[in-house]
Amino acid sequence: MRKLNELIWHCTATPEGREVSVAEIDRWHRQRGWNGIGYHKVIHLDGSVSDGRPIATMGAHVKGHNRGTIGYVYVGGLDKSGNPKDTRTDAQKATMIRLSQEAVRDYGIRKISGHRDYAAKACPCFDATGEYHWIASGMPSKDPARLIKSRTVAGTTVAAAAGAGATVEAAQDAIAGVQNGLQTLSVGGAIPIIIGLLVVSGALLALYARWDDAGRPSLKEMVS
């Protein structure tokens, strides 16, 4: 297995709503003189996935950046008039998140980007680097055990909290709130204890509310 470090996303540059098969892409690429389809996976409109070139084989998807990378493509990328557009269906978006997470987990991917980051192109017609940064950075999925391990406020850094979707200032405020609440609790007495608990709870809820939907745990996950 070759050493991999980056996943690069593409679009097929076809009109919104038009399905494309692996065989069709394979034909396009052979017409360019390539050795078959250059992408490793194709994500269809309904979110299903077709295999292209084997992962173990170097792709042909970004000039000068095929070594050490894998290339995935979603069907779409143009509006009805042929202009660049993020045409991803909800099913495609869900599959693309899953495949990105699997690439990090299974292949050691540490960077997720888009074709446009390496060429004067609109492809994949959305900001893959920004949208999937939380995945490439190793942020947890909605798995309770991993969430508890990596998102406990006490003992984490401000940077980790900010990476979860909160701003640095919000993370600092939340952590300061927890600290103030704990100090109030240490005073003793019924009223200080109640006030301290309220402050701690409010600070934690404030930070929780700022976590992005991509990684935010549900209430069920938090209490299970």
Given 65, 111, 121, 133, the catalytic residue: 121
Given 10, 41, 44, 61, the catalytic residue: 10
Strand ranges in 59-122 using DSSP code E only, listed in sequence order = 69-74, 77-78, 111-114
Following CA atoms 28, 31, 37, 43 in sequence, which dihedral angle do they give, to the nearest 10 degrees?
0
Q: Phi then psi for 133, rounded to 5 degrees?
A: -60, -40
Q: Answer yes or no: 10 catalytic.
A: yes
Q: Answer yes or no: 115 catalytic.
A: yes
Given 123, 125, 132, 208, the catalytic residue: 123
Contact (CB, 8 A) for 39 and 71:
yes
Q: How far is CA 180 from CA 43, 89, 190, 198, in A?
A: 49, 45, 17, 11
Given 40, 41, 44, 115, the catalytic residue: 115
Residue type, 207: L
Given 29, 39, 132, 208, the catalytic residue: 39
User: 């709130």: which residue's tokens?
Assistant: 177
Let me know how many helices (H) and strands (E) the chain has, helices first.
9, 7
Q: Answer yes or no: 85 catalytic.
A: no
**Catalytic machinery residues:** 10, 39, 115, 121, 123
